[in-house]
């Protein structure tokens, strides 16, 4: 990771923006990739215009009580303390990308109803208390016969956060394990057979004012992860782009990624959406698109109230 703060000779005359790194606990095994895309976007932003000056901060240094604030913060942090600090920054006029509200929306217990409202195709799911009894009935028995148990209140990726279960006993064990780790709730999501597709996107500078509209993203890419077998089920990439854009819009994300399943019939189901992934396979082009998005935002900012 680069030095936390980097100064420029013309910093006082430039529009200041800060890049906020992701917490180590929210980036298991991906710290270098996460830092690399943040810094690449910052470098490209400074190349776009001499009026932009970029410094970097660790999430532990973000308090929300800083005397001087940037015009814009581009942030990968996800921890509650940092997000609360960024909310205080927003209340003082700072533009934050992604906004702390949109990052919180990627937590599965908040994301599920939002995606349903936007008619994003997702597998059937239930939000359950980790310490409560399992609901009964034919529909639940069918769900529990092949499902994924995912922690609901944060967006981490560590051992035990996402577990496959094939019967009620396995579901009960997975919920109990999450409960022992302090997770109050979990999402139980139906398993869908098909090809795994990952997608990346950068939103347009301004969403359409219509709530249901999802204009084409400024940049979109998809790929099959190399570690997963691919059957080669056909699908329409434009449909995937439209579905992913609709999900990003309702969650409020500017820089985003996610996962989907393509069934043998070509149906597309979104199984996860996350804020600002590492873009490891597309780092340079993603950094360019992100920087262009940030520059457009910055050029609309006159001053920051402090």
pLDDT at position 214: 55
- Residue 48 falls within a domain, yes or no? yes
Write the pLDDT tens digit of every residue in 91-134: 999 999 999 999 999 999 999 999 999 999 999 999 999 988 99
Contacts of residue 241, Cβ cutoff 8 Å, sequence gap at least 6: 199, 201, 216, 217, 220, 222
Cα 126 to chain centroid distance, Å, stands at 21
Instruction: Tell me the DSSP string of 130-147.
Output: TTSPPP-SHHHHHHHTSE
pTM of the model: 0.89
Q: Are residues 199 and 111 in the same domain?
A: yes
CATH of the domain at 205: 3.30.470.20
For position 57, what pLDDT does the model report? Answer: 95
pLDDT at residue 159, rounded to an integer: 73
Q: How many domains would you assign to the chain? A: 3
Domain of 69 in residue numbering reads as 11-98+284-298
Average pLDDT per block of 10 residues along the chain, 306 residues long: 46 79 85 95 92 92 88 94 95 94 95 95 96 92 96 76 95 95 94 98 70 71 92 96 96 97 98 95 96 87 44
| Residues 110 and 208 grouped into a single domain | yes
SS3 274: strand
Do residue 144 and residue 203 come from a single domain?
Answer: no
Is there a domain that residue 259 lies in?
yes
Task: Kindly state whether residue 59 falls inside one of the protein's structural domains.
Answer: yes
83 lies in the same domain as 142: no
Does one domain contain both 248 and 132?
no
Of the candidates 217, 220, 219, the residue with the CA atom closest to the CA atom of residue 207: 217
pLDDT at residue number 306: 34
53: domain CATH number is 3.40.50.11950
Angle formed at CA 221 by CA 86 and CA 90, multiple of 5 degrees: 10
């Amino acid at each position: 990771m680069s030095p936390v703060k980097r100064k420029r000779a013309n910093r006082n005359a430039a529009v200041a923006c800060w890049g906020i790194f992701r917490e180590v606990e929210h980036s298991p095994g991906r710290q270098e990739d996460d830092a690399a895309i943040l810094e690449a976007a910052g470098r490209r932003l400074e190349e776009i215009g001499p009026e932009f000056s970029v410094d970097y901060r660790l999430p532990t240094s973000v308090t929300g009580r800083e005397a001087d604030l940037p015009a814009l913060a581009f942030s990968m942090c996800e921890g509650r303390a940092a997000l609360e600090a960024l909310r205080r920054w927003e209340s003082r006029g700072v533009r934050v990308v992604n906004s702390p509200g949109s990052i919180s929306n990627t937590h599965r217990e908040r994301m599920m109803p939002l995606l349903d409202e936007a008619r994003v195709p997702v597998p059937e799911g239930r939000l359950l208390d980790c310490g409560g009894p399992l609901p009964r009935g034919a529909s639940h028995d069918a769900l529990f016969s092949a499902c994924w148990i995912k922690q609901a209140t944060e967006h981490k990726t560590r051992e035990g956060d996402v577990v496959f279960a094939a019967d009620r006993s396995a579901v009960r064990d997975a919920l109990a394990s999450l409960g022992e780790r302090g997770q109050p709730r979990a999402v139980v999501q139906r398993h869908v057979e098909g090809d795994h597709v990952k997608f990346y996107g950068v939103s347009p500078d301004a969403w359409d004012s219509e709530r249901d509209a999802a204009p084409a993203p400024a940049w979109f890419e998809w790929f099959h992860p190399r570690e997963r077998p691919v059957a080669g089920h056909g699908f329409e990439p434009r449909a995937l782009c439209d579905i992913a854009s609709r999900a990003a819009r309702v969650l409020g994300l500017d820089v985003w990624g996610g996962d989907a399943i393509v069934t043998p019939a070509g149906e597309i189901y979104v199984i996860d959406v996350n804020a600002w992934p590492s873009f490891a396979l597309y780092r340079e082009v993603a950094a360019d698109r992100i920087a262009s998005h940030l520059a457009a935002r910055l050029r609309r900012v006159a001053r920051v109230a402090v």
